[in-house]
Amino acid sequence: MEAQQQNKRRRVYSMEPNKIVQSIFARNYLSYLVSALMKIKENTSSSKDHNDICKNVKYEVEMAMVLSAQGFAWSNGLKVKLQREHINNVATTEGDNNLGMEKDSVREDKEDEEKMKNLISLIPGGEEICDEQVVNELESYIKCLQMQVNVLQCLIAETC
């Protein structure tokens, strides 16, 4: 309840969601991910498939991202995508999108609009973001991605 109120207040009152998210992203991310990973660890004692573990971990990683960065359009898009995939038990299509985009971006003569479209497609839920907000969302998304990578690297470094 409190968390919801927290989130609501953030969305309503925050004039600068970016800064708030930066300041508590890592904390929220770690606290969610660590507990989720422990749960997975306990559940895998029943010798599940490695792929399942991978999927679960991926899901938790991205869920942690969503929960740590509320108030952005892309975090909502990511949440929607995760819910859809979780229900369908499909592997994350993010990787597939990446590969597709890779081929496209290699082409030499690309219009700026097409590039923008590519960029927007990289952001989860990007198609629904209105054009003016695209760059803001992009900014926050890149920052959160950077932080996420950092957190994951630290986590792995410490546990290996």
Partner 1 sequence: MLHCLNTSSNLVGGGNISDMTVLERQRARIKFQNEHQQFSGNGFSSSHQQQFMMLGCDSALGEIVTNSMKPDPDYENGFDEETVKKRKTDNKVDLNSKDKRIKVCVEEGESKIVEQRKGQKNTKFNNGNKNKRENCEDSNSKENSKGSEIQNQKPDYIHVRARRGQATDSHSLAERVRREKISERMKYLQDLVPGCNKIAGKAGMLDEIINYVQSLQRQVEFLSMKLAAVNPRLDFNIDELFAKEVFTQNFPTTGIPSEMTNPAYLQFNSAQQLVSCCGGLINNMGIIPPEIGLCRNINAPTSASLPEIFLDSSIFTHILPSSTWEGMVEASNMKMEM
Window 55-114: residues binding partner 1 (CB under 8 A) = 56-58, 61-62, 92, 94-95, 98, 101-102, 105, 110, 112-113
**152, two tokens:** 């994951």
Residues 32-70 as b or e (16 or more Cβ within 10 Å = b): bbeebbeebeeeeeeeeeeeeeebbebbbbbbbbbbbbb
In the bound complex, what is the minimum distance in angstroms from residue 143's beta carbon to partner 1?
6
In the bound complex, what is the minimum distance in angstroms from residue 56's beta carbon to partner 1?
7
In the bound complex, what is the minimum distance in angstroms from residue 146's beta carbon to partner 1?
6
Any contact of residue 119 with partner 1 (CB under 8 A)?
yes
The nearer residue to partner 1, 24 or 90, going by C-beta atoms, is 24
Binding partner 1 by CB under 8 A: which of 22, 76, 80, 81? 22
Residue 69 CB-half CA count within 13 A:
29
Binding partner 1 by CB under 8 A: which of 23, 46, 88, 89? 23
Tell me how long the chain is: 160
Any contact of residue 156 with partner 1 (CB under 8 A)?
yes
In the bound complex, what is the minimum distance in angstroms from residue 87's beta carbon to partner 1?
20
Any contact of residue 27 with partner 1 (CB under 8 A)?
yes
**Count of Cβ atoms closer than 10 Å to residue 97 Cβ:** 14
CB 141 within 8 A of CB 123: yes
Closest CA to 75 of 11, 3, 151, 154: 11
In the bound complex, what is the minimum distance in angstroms from residue 53's beta carbon to partner 1?
5
Binding partner 1 by CB under 8 A: which of 69, 75, 115, 127? 115
| Residue at 103: amino acid letter | K
